[in-house]
Amino acid sequence: MAAPQHLRALAGMVVVTLLWSTAGVVTRQLESARSFEATFWRSAVTCLTLAVYLLMAHRQGAIPSIRWRDPALWLSGLMWAVMFTCFMVALTLTSVANVLITMSVAPLVTAVLARFMLGQPVATRTWGVIVSAGAGIAWMYVHSLSADPKAVIGTAVALGVPIAAAINWNTLQRSGGAVDLVPALLVGALLSSFVALPFALPLQASPADVAWLAGLGVFQLAVPCVIAVRLARLLPAPEIALLALLEIVFGIGWAWWGAGEEPAADVLIGGAIVLASLTFDQLWIYRSGASR
């Protein structure tokens, strides 16, 4: 890729991670909307935004162009729904730092599942990184248990995000790129809305809450996800994975600055272990071209 185009793509991914990272601090501004109701409003607005985008991008051919009968589309959409739902519920149970650091293990979970779903071998180096990152997560678990048992439940719910992301990525790889990610995102947002609605009733969100959550649906999910889908065609996977780690740094910083949620020392220690392990893994792949 030409240098200017590559730099623009890199800058685009930084903007994407910055937008993704705003969920935690915005969630802390909510007055009355809780877990499933917050999930419902965010997913519903995301669904509407993506539907408008598809109609504008493809005009009359938007619906016919979607491969509705492809099982991979529905599996991918289901995994997006799990990610959308688990993320918002986890944020209501534990700290932003716990959620983001737990989510960061997605590349490692993806590598392990690729061994079973795609038959790709897992390098010895990656097993070492998995053990190291797992130690960081375990450190957070142990100290969260002693401080606040609810945080352990929140971290466990957050684990649904990287697991679903790993299944999603391997499903798309297995389909040979035949599944368009944007319609799969639409399916995921729609499923997440339907699943969350019964648990959200009676709706109690204030107008301010709905406005905050609508902003998340547009600017924290729909817009950056569509941009990321387009940039995935321009940037190598290791670069995207490495840049995605910025969401953790941005997200913790937003919550600290905008909501006064200072991360505990134990979370910072565990997070540092996880981030160092993942950064080493991605830099190794990028510099040497090694496989997982």
Using pLDDT thresholds of 50, 70 and 90, give the confidence band for residue 170. Answer: confident
Tokens of 50: 């993506």
Distance (Å, rounded) from C-alpha 146 to C-alpha 151?
A: 10
pTM of the entire predicted model: 0.80
Tokens of 177: 């790129």
Would you list the DSSP string of 214-233? HHIIIIIIIHHHHHHHHHTT
Using pLDDT thresholds of 50, 70 and 90, give the confidence band for residue 214. Answer: very high
Cβ within 8 Å of residue 127, ≥6 positions away:
none
- Higher-confidence residue of 174 and 153: namely 153
Of all residues in the chain, what percent carry a pLDDT higher than 90?
22
What is the average per-residue pLDDT within 18-22?
A: 92
**Length of the chain as a residue count:** 292
Domain ranges (residues) in the chain: 3-288
Q: How far apart are the first and last CA of the chain?
A: 23
Collapsing DSSP to helix, strand or coil, 207 comes out as helix
Tokens of 56: 């504008």
Using pLDDT thresholds of 50, 70 and 90, give the confidence band for residue 228. Answer: confident
Distant-in-sequence contacts of 148-155, Cβ < 8 A, 24+ apart: 148/94, 150/93, 150/94, 151/93, 151/94, 151/95, 151/98, 152/94, 153/93, 153/94, 154/90, 154/91, 154/92, 154/93, 154/94, 154/95, 154/98, 154/99, 155/90, 155/94, 155/98, 155/99, 155/102
Give residue-wise pLDDT tens across range 238-253.
567 667 777 888 888 8
Positive or negative torsion for Cα 218, 222, 227, 230: negative
Of 207, 96, 116, 251, residue with least CA distance to 170? 116
Of 246, 240, 209, residue with least CA distance to 227? 240
